[in-house]
Amino acid sequence: MVQSPLQSLLSGRELLLQEIPSEYHDSLYEAAIYTTKGIENGQCRRCGNDDERLLARFPHQVCGTECLYCRKCIMMGRVSACSLLYGWGGKPIEWNAASAKLKWNGTLSSSQAEASKAIVQAVQNRSELLVWAVCGAGKTEMVFAGIEEALKDGKRVCIAAPRTDVILELEPRLKAVFPNMSVIALHGQSTEKHAFAPLVLSTVHQLLRYQDAFDVMIIDEVDAFPFSFDRSLQFAAEKAGKRNSTRIYLTATPSLVFQQSYKKGMLPGVVLPARFHRKPIPVPELRWGGNWQRSLRKGRIPAPLSSWLTAIIQKDEPFLIFFPHIALMEQALPLIKRMIPSIDSVHAEDPERREKVLKLRSGELQGLLTTTILERGVTIPRLNVAVIGAENEIFTEAALVQIAGRVGRSREYPRGEVVFYHYGKTEEMLASIQQIIRMNEEAGRRGLLD
């Protein structure tokens, strides 16, 4: 896989001039380079924004006009009507198909094997596929064969996820099973943003810079915030794939739109109601939490939570406690530290969140207080989970199912406690519990539980 630095940088990408190292600027007039306007017909080429409220004008010295620019993706560098986006229109980069050999000694369960076969077929047929698999079903292992099939056929693959945490979890696993293949991980702190690789792991935000790049798009946690709510991220995932690309959607909690499309036969899919270790998903327990916010304001741990923590101390097991807001979590931290000194808190803007999760996994910390940032992409053996203020609107059915899905994920420890402490039951709580019960029952009917 030999290519020029400029070919490597621009293959499958469209970049502003300021995003291209200055030493390559003199080469941007080669025949292989194409350009396109940053904004055309009132729409941003990079993020798809066509909302007049998010388009504005500024006096631009370069073009001498009141130039239109996009406010939606301004954090990635200003795209204006006179901006040019540079891309590679020359020969595509090829790689040695032999280097795509999968090196994994694991064994798939019968339901995993069924999903894996469907994924391989979707890759071969360049079609869509929904993989509706419960938390802990082993979705990553299911896609291995499909990735191998694509790479051997010269197809470029992207696994995209809404959150950095998921990409950080996937990176070492994919590099381990494809040791001879170039694999890069793209996220906010990535140092590989100028590199080319046949297999790319990326947050959906980073896909804003891609155009017609991938033959296979695997979108993990397709229902998760912010992807499910942000049209620009959905636009980015759409344009990053080639026109006839394979699109595989992985989720434990598909949106109503995906569910209806699957049930009506409009979207091919496969459902996995059981975890890879053939044990049922722990069903959450609803417990009255009282006026827990008032307790925190008075400097007290809510009594029900205090009792739960006492039991956790005796069992000496790791735990996560989910809070609806950062401020409430930080109020609780010093109070809980008096009971359990080896704890910390984490949230989306915490620069040390990865290190803190590693400390929890290694046993250096017994517990973490967290926002919903850790509802996905975290696997820790023997984990127990509590949700404080489960009645808050941030705890949707999908969020609560994902939170419960952190527990009992390992073969050695398939059980654990999931407790929703509330100040009044909500439909979301009840629906999340019913969804887990339904999946367990379906797994039992299909003979997928021991």
pLDDT, tens digit (0-9, with 9 covering 90-100), for 236-279:
999 999 999 999 999 999 988 899 999 999 999 999 999 999 99
% of residues, the chain, pLDDT over 70: 99
| pLDDT (mean) for 420-431 | 97
pLDDT, tens digit (0-9, with 9 covering 90-100), for 12-63:
999 999 999 999 999 898 879 999 999 999 999 999 999 999 999 999 988 8
* Predicted confidence (pLDDT) at residue 1 exceeds the cutoff of 70: no
Q: Share the mean pLDDT of the chain.
A: 94
The whole-model pTM stands at 0.89
User: Which burial class, exposed, middle or buried, applies to 2 when counting CB atoms under 10 A from its CB (0-12, 13-18, 19+)?
Assistant: exposed
Contact in structure between 349 and 395 (CB atoms under 8 Å): no
pLDDT, tens digit (0-9, with 9 covering 90-100), for 67-99:
999 999 999 999 999 999 999 999 999 999 899
Q: Which residues have C-beta within 8 Å of that of residue 397, sequence separation ≥ 6?
A: 253, 428, 431, 432, 435
Domain ranges within the chain, ordered by starting residue: 5-88, 97-272, 285-445
pLDDT, tens digit (0-9, with 9 covering 90-100), for 155-197:
999 999 988 878 988 999 999 999 999 999 999 888 888 899 9
- 285-445 under CATH 3.30.70.3040, yes or no: no
Q: How confident is the model at residue 227 (pLDDT cuts 50, 70, 90)?
A: confident
Structure confidence at residue 156 (pLDDT): 98
Rg (the chain; Cα; Å): 24
Report the CATH number of the 97-272 domain: 3.40.50.300
Cα gap 438→450, rounded to integer Å? 17
The residue among 399 and 225 whose pLDDT is bigger is 399
DSSP string, 216-276: EEEEETTT-TTTTT-HHHHHHHHHHEEEEEEEEEEESS--HHHHHHHHTTSS-EEEE-S-T
Tokens of 124: 């071969």
Same fold, 97-272 and 285-445: yes
- Grouping H, G, I as helix, E, B as strand and the rest as coil, residue 318 is coil
| pLDDT (mean) for 113-127 | 97
The residue among 110 and 307 whose pLDDT is bigger is 307
DSSP string, 131-147: EEE-TTS-HHHHHHHHH
Contact in structure between 217 and 128 (CB atoms under 8 Å): no
Cα gap 342→351, rounded to integer Å? 19
| pLDDT (mean) for 421-431 | 97
Contact in structure between 387 and 428 (CB atoms under 8 Å): no
Least Cα distance to 60 among 81, 42, 44 occurs for 81
* Predicted confidence (pLDDT) at residue 2 exceeds the cutoff of 70: no
pLDDT, tens digit (0-9, with 9 covering 90-100), for 303-355:
999 999 999 999 999 999 999 999 999 999 999 999 999 999 999 889 898 89
Cα gap 224→163, rounded to integer Å? 9
Cα gap 219→154, rounded to integer Å? 20
Structure confidence at residue 222 (pLDDT): 84
DSSP string, 8-37: HHHTTBEEEGGGS-GGGGGGTTSTTEEEEE
